[in-house]
Amino acid sequence: SNTKISDPDDSSGDEYSMEIDDQELTFNEKLSLTNIGDLAEMCKSKCDIKHISTLLYMSLRYFNIKWEDADEFLKNIGFTTAKTSHKWATVFIKGDYQEFSSDLRGGKQTDSFYDTFPEIEADARAFVVQACSQKSADFKAADLTQFIDAKYYELTEIKKQIGDDLIRSERSCRLDLRRWGAKFDANSQRPYFEWHERDDVVKHRNEFVNYFTTQRF
């Protein structure tokens, strides 16, 4: 049947029609590899194939899908093989964000929020390094969300309203931490740094220490 549905986001007030089956879609009957492959092709035009292949591979393995079945499925829909996806999943899980994010096109790995507020990123990185340097560190990504929130409202001089969302979500902050070189403890999921591995992290730690030792408060 044809159903008219108004789009509340359309300021023109125009309506569009959408075909809706009289009966609920039965996935077992109507879902096919062809349909999935078509959607996969659309996704590849919007996102790096390495990223979505790795995401899908990790999801399949999370639900205990056999490696051979995952490999066949990935290849049938035009994604990278399970072997390649497993390699990149391992890189991601081990915490090497830079290697995982690199590709042949190069380009910077950054974030539009930090493009707009580079000073918040600098402060946030210093905050993270200082927090993770403590021997009894109990630092979590949620702490970073609160720090960035406070810095944003301090910098912009905007008053936060009751019910306003966090400026940066906890998931985004976890990605920030990975990008800055942090790894996550498998049990507690707390971030930590292997200082000897990342020269840039050591540099930011030293900059943080130097800043506070030269300031007069």
Total domains, the chain:
2
Residues 86 and 121 in one domain: no
pLDDT score for 108: 46
In a domain, 21, yes or no: no
Banded model confidence at residue 57, pLDDT cuts 50, 70, 90: very high
pLDDT score for 71: 94
**Is residue 138 predicted with pLDDT exceeding 60?**
yes
152, 124 Cβ separation under 8 angstroms: no
Residues 208 and 118 in one domain: yes
pLDDT score for 94: 85
Residues 55 and 125 in one domain: no
In a domain, 121, yes or no: yes
| CA dist list (Å): 27 to 78, 185, 210 | 21, 39, 60
**Is residue 15 predicted with pLDDT exceeding 50?**
no
Banded model confidence at residue 13, pLDDT cuts 50, 70, 90: very low
pLDDT score for 211: 58
**Is residue 12 predicted with pLDDT exceeding 50?**
no
**Is residue 17 predicted with pLDDT exceeding 90?**
no
Cβ contacts of 179 within 8 Å, gap of 6 or more: 97, 98, 101, 109, 111
Containing domain of residue 208, as a range?
112-214
pLDDT score for 197: 47
Residues 67 and 139 in one domain: no
Listed residues 40, 59, 94: the one ending a domain: 94
In a domain, 18, yes or no: no
Across the chain, mean pLDDT equals 78
- The CB density around residue 136, as the number of other CB atoms within 10 Å, is 4
Closest of 145, 143, 121, 122 to residue 132, by C-alpha: 143
Residues 45 and 121 in one domain: no
pLDDT score for 209: 55
**16 DSSP β-pair partners:** 5
Residues 86 and 122 in one domain: no
The tokens for 76 are: 């049938």
pLDDT in tens, 155-210: 999 999 898 889 998 888 988 888 888 888 777 778 887 754 455 655 665 665 56
In a domain, 106, yes or no: no
**What are the residue ranges of helices labelled H in the chain?**
27-30, 33-46, 49-62, 67-76, 82-94, 97-101, 112-116, 118-133, 141-156, 170-179, 199-214
Residues 153 and 203 in one domain: yes
pLDDT score for 23: 57
The average pLDDT across 1-26 equals 48
In a domain, 75, yes or no: yes
83, 71 Cβ separation under 8 angstroms: yes
pLDDT score for 182: 84
Of 46 and 127, the one with more pLDDT: 127
